[in-house]
Chains A and B, each alone.
Chain A
Amino acid sequence: MEWRHKDLLGLAELTKEEIELILDTASSFKEVSTREIKKVPALRGKSVVNLFYEPSTRTRVSFEIAAKRLSCDVINIIADTSSVRKGESLVDTGKNLEALKIDIIVLRHNSSGAAHLLARNVGVSVINAGDGWHEHPTQALLDIFTLKEKFGKIEGLNVTIVGDIAHSRVARSNIWGLTKLGAKVCVCAPKSLLPIEIERLGVEVFNDLDEALRDTDCVNVLRMQLERDEKTIFPSSLDYFKQYGITMERLKKLKRNILIMHPGPLNRGVEISSEVADGENSVILEQVTNGIAVRMAVLYLVTQARETIKNEAHH
């Protein structure tokens, strides 16, 4: 199995084998972070630009550490402080970075499809670090990696994603990845937060949380953003917590070894209680640790692919 893509734009376009390759590569990189000297020379001399049009310290820092552990140079461009706010188009910004001979752009953008747009306009690798409501592939990969570490396999697991599915790129990427690997996926949300025809992605849809969680091995709790979107009715945070909050009370009725995941940052008391977030079923901090290994794997694989493509073109 060889990785052939210069970019990682989403899990929708990957095969089961390609996802497994990323997970396996991540496993071998995980050990690096436990060493005294947390660095390998795999990407020495390469440069990564974190191009972030949305503030996200977590994802940015995770990519930055991952790159540095591969001996790669990192430049951070945050939308507020650079020319990107002064009306330069995404494609122009990308072409400029390419002219600066960087190797990889890690893009976070508020528009769905932004990573696709950039990737088809530049020769450098593009890694999607979240685009609008579309995909957030490295988040889903680290969720799946954590799940696989705990259960040894993905096939046959019951995973429930709870929260604002309609506006969640984490949900979409998880659904694509998990269903490809053979997990059974349930989504649970109030009707107004479920996108149309979501069941056609091969998931079971619930409005009632207790019903959704009955046989679940893992709950992935989405961050609830209680901001207004035209035509979407959001419940109040208290109502939401009552109906969809993951609490100790609920947890007691579920499988004893159930895993609690959350992509962060947490809204304690809105989608999850502190007891659960900090309790023994929670793997939230392990997710953060695994994020480094997964992102190292992705940075490494896209670079390899680009070099293979380059070599083939020379022959």
Chain B
Amino acid sequence: MRLIIRNSRVIDPLNNIDGIFDILIENGIISKISKEAKDRFDKVIDATNRITLPGLIDIHVHLREPGREDKETILSGTHAAAKGGITTILAMPNTDPPIDSVEKVRLVKEIIEKNAKIEVLISSAITLRREGKELVDMTRLKKEGIVAITDDGSSVDDPQLMRQAMLEAKKKNILVMLHCEDKSLSLKGVMNLGFISTCLGLRGIPKEAEFKRIERDLNLAKETDARIHITHISCKESVELIRKAKKEGLSLTCDTAPHYFSLTEEDLLDFDANKKVNPPLRTKEDVSAIKQAIREGVIDCIASDHAPHTEHEKEIEFENAEFGTIGLETELAVAITELIEPGIISWKELVRLFCVNPSYILGIEKRSLSPGKEANIIILDPQKEWIVKKEDFLSRSKNSAFLGKKLKGKVECTIYKGRIVFAQENEVYSNERVR
């Protein structure tokens, strides 16, 4: 099987490529990147005026299986990821039951083997049942192939236990991914504490709940020398703490989610619980700080924190609704709209944020379009404007914070291991054009 992607703008920062090329894929492997390849092909994709990138990596995804297949499954979630241009995801362990043992990792692996449309990497909880009381068996889990540990959804409150977890993770060379939230400060809060929470009469979550916990974990990381990654940072104070820690030479990384550089607390004025996320949407000032941190490289990568919930868990009273937004199918477009269009970052930087840096963080093979590599490739139309609509999502849940928003840039085709796992239904990708 020989497939060629003709005439697209190929962007691959690791090979320092940005130009119009043809990409030849043979038996699932990238075989050549050249100008006007004259070989014979089984299939041609005319990608004129399109951009081709290595497949993206999303290191923070809730797939909900096992346990909450009504929200999402490994099948539906990976299908949604493919539509969003993502070919590798890191699944979060807060399923039901949580992934905290070798047996449960094996169970998930089996489903992945059977149903996943793209690559799914597995993370384990830090503590058994995510209760914050007893550590998991990192040695056995590491052998089983987990790439990170995280109690995402909550934070390990006991500092002694967190310290012990970091020491252990350091010994086994496991990444510790941290959801930083001090529950004694966030309490029953449902949105950012401030003027808007006052207007709406809703309980607020102070920024301290996030950055005080980041402060604690930075100190523990300093002490233990563990490799930590702080996920979904949302406010200016967190950015400043991480900037400082990095300057001091601490080897840590962090990510933010698209909603933290595109939406603010003011978007909650209509009480739409699809925008109820944890950490909560912050202020305009925080959004600018997050954008600046992305530009300066203080924030290493973008991850969706894709958190599917059913309609009856979301279309209810704001204070009772679940936290979280889906994000796999919108994250790239939000980044194009909010970061590339206004000139905050370049396309190469976008690939670093969504692809190069995540692979570095997870310690997996670097993603690039080098000949000889597995063909994980996405083709997108950077000019295409579209409106986010419920009925267009492939995710089983529709709780998007971006519903009704106009976004720019749309993935047209996602190729995983040389196979097309998603394609827009238009003439370019239909069978008639396959020669």
Contacts and interface: CB of A to CB of B under 8 A. Distances in A.
Interface of A: 12, 89-91, 109, 111-114, 116-117, 120-121, 131-135, 167, 169, 172, 195-198, 200-201, 230-231
A111 B198 contact: no
Contacts of A169: 201
A132 B195 contact: no
Contacts of B317: 90, 109, 111, 113-114, 117
A117 B194 contact: no
B205 to A, nearest CB: 12
B271 interface: yes
Nearest to A91: B315
Nearest to A12: B199
Contacts of B201: 112, 131-135, 167, 169, 172
A122 to B, nearest CB: 12
Interface in B159-214: 187-188, 193-195, 197-202, 204
Contacts of B200: 112-113, 134
B315 A196 contact: no
Interface of B: 187-188, 193-195, 197-202, 204, 270-271, 312, 315-320
Contact of A112 (B195, B270, B318): B318
A111 B195 contact: no
B193, B199, B319 pick with most chain A CB within 10 angstroms: B199
A109 B271 CA distance: 14
A198 B200 CA distance: 11
A113 B270 CA distance: 8
A196 B202 contact: no
Given A112-B202, A113-B202, A117-B315, 13 more contacts: A12-B199, A89-B316, A90-B317, A111-B318, A111-B320, A112-B200, A113-B271, A116-B270, A117-B316, A134-B202, A167-B201, A195-B197, A197-B194
6 contacts: A113-B318, A113-B319, A133-B202, A195-B197, A196-B195, A200-B195
B199 A201 contact: yes
A250 to B, nearest CB: 28
Contacts of A121: 315
B316 A196 contact: no
A109 B201 CA distance: 13
Contacts, number: 68
B320 A195 contact: no
A78 B292 CA distance: 52
A90 B319 CA distance: 13
B61 to A, nearest CB: 28
Contacts of A201: 198-199
Contacts of A132: 201-202, 319
Contact of A197 (B187, B188, B195, B316): B195
Given A112-B200, A197-B198, A230 B319 contact: no
Contacts of B316: 89-91, 117
Contacts of A131: 201
Contacts of A198: 198
A112 B194 contact: no
Contacts of B202: 112-113, 132-134
A126 to B, nearest CB: 13
Contacts of B204: 196
B85 to A, nearest CB: 32
A270 B194 CA distance: 30
Contacts of A172: 199, 201
B381 to A, nearest CB: 33
A205 to B, nearest CB: 12
Given A113-B317, A121-B315, A231 B198 contact: no
A184 B188 CA distance: 34
Nearest to A176: B199
Instruction: Tell which of B188, B270, B312 has the most Cβ of chain A within 10 Å.
Output: B270
Question: Would you list the 5 A-B pairs with minimal beta carbon distance, nearest first?
Answer: A133-B201, A113-B271, A111-B317, A134-B201, A195-B198
Contact of B312 (A89, A133, A134, A135): A89
B187 A231 contact: yes
A116 B271 contact: yes
A112 B319 contact: yes
Contacts of A200: 195, 198
A85 to B, nearest CB: 15
Nearest to A175: B199
A230 B320 CA distance: 17
A201 B187 CA distance: 25
Given A116-B271, A117-B271, A111 B319 contact: yes
Contacts of A89: 312, 315-316
Contacts of B197: 195-196
Nearest to A200: B195
Interface centre among B188, B201, B316 (most CB of A within 10 A): B201
A109 B195 CA distance: 23
- Most A C-beta atoms less than 10 A away, residue of B198, B316, B320: B198
Nearest to B193: A196
A109 B319 CA distance: 12
A177 to B, nearest CB: 14
A200 B193 CA distance: 14
A196 B194 contact: yes
A231 B186 CA distance: 11
Nearest to B270: A116
Contacts of A113: 200, 202, 271, 317-319
